[in-house]
Amino acid sequence: MKNVYRVSLLLDLYGQLLTQRQYEILDLYYNNDYSLGEISEDLKISRQGVYDNIKRGVALLNKYEKKMLLLNRYLKQKENLETLLNTIDGIDTANMSDDNKNKIKYIRELVVEMLNDV
């Protein structure tokens, strides 16, 4: 996994545990593609300050992931739900009763909903 994507996912999972300022800086850098210089200008802090905040913030996110493994769990769940969806879509419902068709349709909808929420 690319580091930028990984940090972006960690930020989703643990961002609430950072300070507001830390979150803001990491969000600009990793989710909105700002440069150090742009963040420095926008937030009126030194380039070095931005850099230090990013470094410290990423270290904190990694520390939380090491303890809680939410990214691990998230990726596994997403993979399982995608496998479920693919398997459901491989079922041939042509000759099924309406009741079975409806149940499979309902299962599919719920899996899609879970994929969106995960």
Q: What angle do CA 106, 111, 116 make, to 5 degrees?
A: 125
Give yes or no for residue 88 binding a copy of itself (CB under 8 A).
yes
Number of residues that bind a copy of itself (CB under 8 A): 32
Phi-psi region of 35 (alpha: psi -120 to 50; beta: other; left: phi over 0): beta
Asked if 68 interacts with a copy of itself (CB under 8 A), we say yes
**Interface with a copy of itself, residue 115, by CB under 8 A:** no
End-to-end CA distance of the chain: 18
> In the numeric block, which tokens belong to residue 22?
């830390």
Residues in contact with a copy of itself by the rule CB under 8 A: 14, 16-17, 64, 67-68, 70, 73, 76-77, 80, 83-84, 87-88, 90-92, 95-97, 99-100, 103-104, 106-107, 110-111, 113-114, 117
